[in-house]
Structure 1
């Protein structure tokens, strides 16, 4: 099954083999990612032109496309270069002109002989009181009227490509559709009243009205489902392959974690206990774990991670936890150390900053098994980092690591279980498209004692009031974050730089009250400022978004976000999540520069209305679209020609269930529907899936 089925050859042949597509057109179409007949078939029309015949243009609301039967009255050739050639015609009730530039008179006299009748179709305009059609799209004899479609599809174009070229190419490509067995679950086809694949494509390319162009039109829904199903089948095959891959059985009774729990001032939530149970069950299984732990800001993922790492140690192995930044890695280390050490577990941190003897010492202890838990940045990927017996790898803030990286980390322990954690709530449709190969645990409740955060919108005109309130709060022993959008003043964007805000606040609040952290600072300075803030030696931390993820200072109860309208929703939600971590009441001030754009206003109002990260993520998706929410550079986002992640999220969920069910019944895809599904994978160019089947 490692080569493409012969039935699909015509759709994967040279684009130039299609009617009306020469080398130049093929070159131009390639700019639209259309490189073979199959691609052209997935380029669906986005609108249509009504070309139904009208009896007269009298009273028609120009400019508008009309199709009308006319009698040719006379010709008026161009009087000089650059002047138009005019043909005077008459319909049942009115006179009009057909206008041509750079036209050959012999051609026009032959096409439009005086005294004969023709059907013409094109854009009717009124110029100086005269009705005219410039360069009609169609001019045919009355007998050939049927060659003009009543509703003509309009395709996306690029330079050097016309509607007629695409229409001819599509018509030819449609004749090459193979006879294919049905890959969709028959009950779904029946429920949705979908036609077969070939019929759906033909219908999508020959719409009868605007209704047929809508995303909800049955033919388009069917084609969108084909794409989603192929994508989910690929993820399901990857999941099946990783489940087949032998893991290490790491059984533990949870004794070490129970020991640590006794020293904790709080009890785990039900959601945390449920997640720990699901993960422990995966670790005790003989197959390899691939699980995503998704929790809202402040839902307590770190506690779950601690339980997982301790279980790995109790089972006789080692655990590693990886964070995207130096600050976060050190913070995880400082946060975990006092607890795990009470259980007699050795924990160490490894980042890019460890050099020379210090690094050598840590690596030796790690390879001997003297270090049980390692916390680090992506420095733990380096080849000289060797574990004695790595059982579980935890990746924090998954959206900062690509799919390849998480595979690489798992490979460190040859068969280590992998747990991916994210505090960025992801709308369901995106989670399905990005992490469909993983099993998911969700933390959907906040630990007890967390106070709701009061969120307010304040215009930058009231900056002085805000600074005054801050002075009072600092005097009462409170701590605050002040987030600035940019580090260096930029002429284009008039945002206050972090440096300037730092100086201004220091002048008002005092030299030793304010600390500064931004991305351009040397790491040692950054850590020093953070450490001063965490220890309470500084009351206000002026920062760029480097503090967006994970920084945990329970005493900090005020978050000021300057020029809040310039941030995305997910980022605002993450930043706000830095406060409200202790038992005191917290406030988040969204400082905005009026006037707000519609989207800017909508974003800030959503922040004011809710703290539910999943609702915020859904709104963010609706405002910005899928590519921006995850970050277009992310490797996991599939590109669909017809399906749309936001709009078709319900279909995506059905596709995931269907793909997993099909593989449960037919793991090698050798049954009747399985073989049809293989054809679909080839058609949708899911090479990864095809490789998995060939190997499997």
Structure 2
């Protein structure tokens, strides 16, 4: 510590107080912790755990429940309990390939029992006679099946022991031990919240919350710790959204004025009446388009609720004001579907529309509305003076991709999603967007009923499907893969289509549509499906 008489000038560098946080300590690599070598460091890296700070913030997804501690003589079959004793002997059996059974005789003052582990042969070296153990598990016919264990201590088997997201290479038990080492650095994490705010919200100090998160004395204490960390996350999110809003308020878009003749003709073309929700969405969009602040609106609604009709209205508003419109979809199939939907209406209105995807390179010269995929944001693509941009299934695009569509200009942007998001959650996640919901389907559409059918009842589901097909209806069967994969058990579209033609849907017309088909084939299949062929 510097010493000297009081004066007007302070020292060049004030000494760090002993209790001051040292954030730089949290940037140390995990290899700085005891027992972490190059091999374990690589395994932790796959979990996104590269520094001491990241390990400290790796949160348990649950806690072990409290269980009674029993004497061995008092164990009851099927009851989860904890026992403590001394190892008397250990052996390993290998009844078949890829199966190792470790059996250890464990005794306490009341009795002796055989504890069983599966496929952990390396434990034989640790379970030497005389070793004190604490085991947590159940008494089964073949012995005490161990779920977790401690050697010469209480950690993994303790009540409310944390269970962490892990991998085959790094077990929850190993992570628990590493987090215990990282907890020595909990005081080095700065607490950004003012004392007044913590007092008003009844929030613990951040270092205290981290200790309670990883070493809770009760489930309530662990929940209080989680609440503090959740508060910090939401605060950072809201501050980020507020900064985004402040930055956008400085941008200026071209006001499109009041709706004109073209948008009126478009509405007259529609062969149906708009629902009240669609009318409300159009009114809100009109208000946004009349101002200089760029529209940033999220339009959400279920499939079939009429979002595309509203989106095309916004694009037509741009065209009638002398600007271009763009609609970006995440896949070629969806982009082509949008194009086929809006092209007939645009043709009747005299509006030129073009399609641009990785497979289809339309001439954009003279195009007033362009529909496409990521190809719209490729270098060299000129969308002209963009007035309105529509981003469909916006959550499937990255932030940078959405930003690239508007970079260098300030168009009005309408984001669309069919993913049902509760309004309160939408306002939290998309606080920088105005939210409009089309909650009700058009009167001509029946409510959508979602049913979950397990694999053992799939035959009954296809029996019901055939009744609908026999009545002249149509159906989709959606698969997560195009072709079979050696790393996944998910059903692939190509194999499933062939199987259905031979089995449950034999005699019915089964088409196959996926992104690898040539554009012409995809459009022909969609047209055939639309025509009921």
TM, length-normalised to structure 1: 0.54
Give the aligned partner of residue 371 of structure 2.
375
Contact 1:518 1:526 in 2 (8 A): yes
Residue pairs, 1:133-212, within 5 angstroms = 137-138=151-152, 153-154=161-162, 156=164, 158=170, 162=174, 165-166=177-178, 168-178=180-190, 180-182=191-193, 186=197, 190=200, 193-212=202-221
Mapped partners of 1:276, 1:288: distance in 2:
16
Give the aligned partner of residue 421 of structure 1.
416
Contact 2:41 2:50 in 1 (8 A): yes
Mapped partners of 2:136, 2:332: distance in 1:
66
**Structure 1 residues 183 and 421: CA distance shift in structure 2, 3 A:** farther
Give the aligned partner of residue 8 of structure 1.
23
Mapped partners of 2:73, 2:390: distance in 1:
73
**Structure 1 residues 200 and 467: CA distance shift in structure 2, 3 A:** closer
Contact 1:515 1:533 in 2 (8 A): no
Equivalent pairs counted in the alignment come to 474
Give the aligned partner of residue 12 of structure 2.
none
Contact 1:44 1:204 in 2 (8 A): yes
Instruction: Pick one of 468, 474, 480 that aligns with 1:480.
Output: 474
Instruction: Pick one of 283, 286, 296 that aligns with 2:289.
Output: 283
Give the aligned partner of residue 36 of structure 1.
51
Give the aligned partner of residue 404 of structure 2.
408
Larger CA deviation: 246-255 vs 437-446? 246-255
Give the aligned partner of residue 498 of structure 1.
497
Instruction: Pick one of 241, 245, 259 that aligns with 2:251.
Output: 245
Instruction: Pick one of 264, 270, 273 that aligns with 1:267.
Output: 273
Contact 1:257 1:310 in 2 (8 A): yes
Mapped partners of 1:414, 1:263: distance in 2:
32
Question: Cα deviations across residues 423-479 of structure 1 (Å, max 9, x unaligned)?
Answer: 2324558746764443322111222333456889896369689658745x4xxxx56
Contact 2:133 2:151 in 1 (8 A): yes
Give the aligned partner of residue 516 of structure 1.
511
Mapped partners of 2:106, 2:464: distance in 1:
74
Contact 2:28 2:52 in 1 (8 A): yes
SS of the residue aligned with 1:251?
coil
Give the aligned partner of residue 227 of structure 2.
221
Contact 2:26 2:53 in 1 (8 A): yes
**Structure 1 residues 433 and 184: CA distance shift in structure 2, 3 A:** farther
Give the aligned partner of residue 438 of structure 2.
443
Mapped partners of 1:148, 1:446: distance in 2:
52
Contact 2:82 2:157 in 1 (8 A): no
**Structure 1 residues 28 and 481: CA distance shift in structure 2, 3 A:** closer
Question: Cα deviations across residues 253-281 of structure 1 (Å, max 9, x unaligned)?
Answer: 34432232233333322222222232233
SS of the residue aligned with 1:363?
coil
**Structure 1 residues 275 and 121: CA distance shift in structure 2, 3 A:** same
Q: CA deviation at 1:102?
A: 6.1
Mapped partners of 1:85, 1:16: distance in 2:
33
Unaligned runs of 5+ in 1: 79-83, 113-119, 141-146, 366-370, 541-696
Give the aligned partner of residue 391 of structure 1.
387
**Structure 1 residues 395 and 209: CA distance shift in structure 2, 3 A:** closer
Contact 1:260 1:339 in 2 (8 A): yes
TM, length-normalised to structure 2: 0.68
Q: CA deviation at 1:41?
A: 2.2
**Structure 1 residues 290 and 380: CA distance shift in structure 2, 3 A:** same
**Structure 1 residues 321 and 124: CA distance shift in structure 2, 3 A:** closer
Instruction: Pick one of 99, 123, 127 that aligns with 2:135.
Output: 123
Q: Please tell me whether residue 531 in structure 1 is matched to residue 527 in structure 2.
A: yes
Mapped partners of 1:208, 1:409: distance in 2:
51
Mapped partners of 1:315, 1:21: distance in 2:
67
Q: Which has the higher helix share?
A: 1
SS of the residue aligned with 2:511?
strand
Instruction: Pick one of 326, 342, 353 that aligns with 1:320.
Output: 326
**Structure 1 residues 523 and 218: CA distance shift in structure 2, 3 A:** same
Give the aligned partner of residue 608 of structure 1.
none
Mapped partners of 2:449, 2:136: distance in 1:
59
SS of the residue aligned with 1:298?
coil
Q: CA deviation at 1:393?
A: 1.1
SS of the residue aligned with 2:273?
coil
SS of the residue aligned with 1:525?
helix
Q: CA deviation at 1:292?
A: 1.8
Contact 1:67 1:121 in 2 (8 A): yes
Give the aligned partner of residue 364 of structure 2.
363
Mapped partners of 2:377, 2:104: distance in 1:
73
Mapped partners of 2:127, 2:500: distance in 1:
71
Give the aligned partner of residue 63 of structure 2.
47
Mapped partners of 1:301, 1:398: distance in 2:
13
Q: CA deviation at 1:308?
A: 0.8
**Structure 1 residues 64 and 409: CA distance shift in structure 2, 3 A:** same
Give the aligned partner of residue 674 of structure 1.
none
**Structure 1 residues 265 and 139: CA distance shift in structure 2, 3 A:** closer
Higher RCO by CA contacts (8 Å cutoff, separation 6 or greater): 1
Mapped partners of 1:501, 1:207: distance in 2:
53
Mapped partners of 1:233, 1:202: distance in 2:
26
Q: CA deviation at 1:310?
A: 2.0
Cα RMSD (Å) of the superposition? 5.3
Question: Cα deviations across residues 198-224 of structure 1 (Å, max 9, x unaligned)?
Answer: 2222322332235544xxx22222222
Q: CA deviation at 1:395?
A: 1.8
**Structure 1 residues 326 and 21: CA distance shift in structure 2, 3 A:** closer
